[in-house]
């Protein structure tokens, strides 16, 4: 059970960190924002973590029971099944929350494909950290 706890605690953090890395790369690619991004590259990380971490943990909590079942029973297809599950969860979370994350104070811009990719990445990390069933007889 300790391995599943570690997977549950670490894997959701992948989502806001990857989202922030994407924002940083976009800022570095834009000549108008590059200087500001280089002056304080970690400035936005706190905001992204404050908003994205609770959402990522809630989505992981909802998907953890099917994820643990997949790790134990899907055999050699476990990784692919986990990535698909994570992609579907990321897509659904993005579609459900997108209207609520656009406002006057701040907006979180995330496409459905981006949400699916972030969910799949988190699921891949969950699979890597979760204890794998023994293949010995």
Domain regions of the chain by residue span: 2-129
Q: What is the pLDDT of residue 133?
A: 67
Contact 84, 122 (CB under 8 A): no
CA angle, 112 then 118 then 123, to 5° = 125
Residues 6+ apart with CB under 8 A from 26: 33
DSSP string covering 73-131: HSGGGHHHHHHHHHHHHHHHHHHHHGGGGB-SS-B----HHHHHHHHHHHHHHHHHHSP
Mean pLDDT by 10 residues, the chain (137 residues): 82 93 90 84 87 90 80 78 89 86 74 92 89 56
Q: Which residue has the tokens 């834009």?
A: 30
Q: What is the pLDDT of residue 105?
A: 67
Q: What is the pLDDT of residue 13?
A: 93
């Amino acid at each position: 059970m300790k391995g599943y706890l570690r997977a549950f605690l670490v894997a959701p953090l992948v989502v806001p960190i990857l989202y922030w890395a994407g924002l940083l790369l976009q800022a570095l690619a834009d000549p108008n924002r590059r200087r500001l991004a280089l002056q304080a590259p970690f400035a936005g990380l706190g905001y992204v973590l404050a908003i994205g971490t609770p959402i990522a943990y809630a989505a992981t909590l909802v998907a953890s029971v099917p994820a643990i079942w997949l790790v134990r029973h899907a055999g050699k297809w476990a990784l692919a099944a986990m990535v698909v599950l994570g992609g579907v969860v990321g897509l659904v979370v993005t579609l459900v929350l997108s209207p609520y994350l656009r406002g006057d104070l701040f907006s979180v811009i995330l496409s459905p494909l981006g949400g699916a990719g972030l969910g799949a990445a988190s699921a891949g990390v969950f699979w890597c950290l979760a204890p794998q069933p023994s293949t010995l007889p």
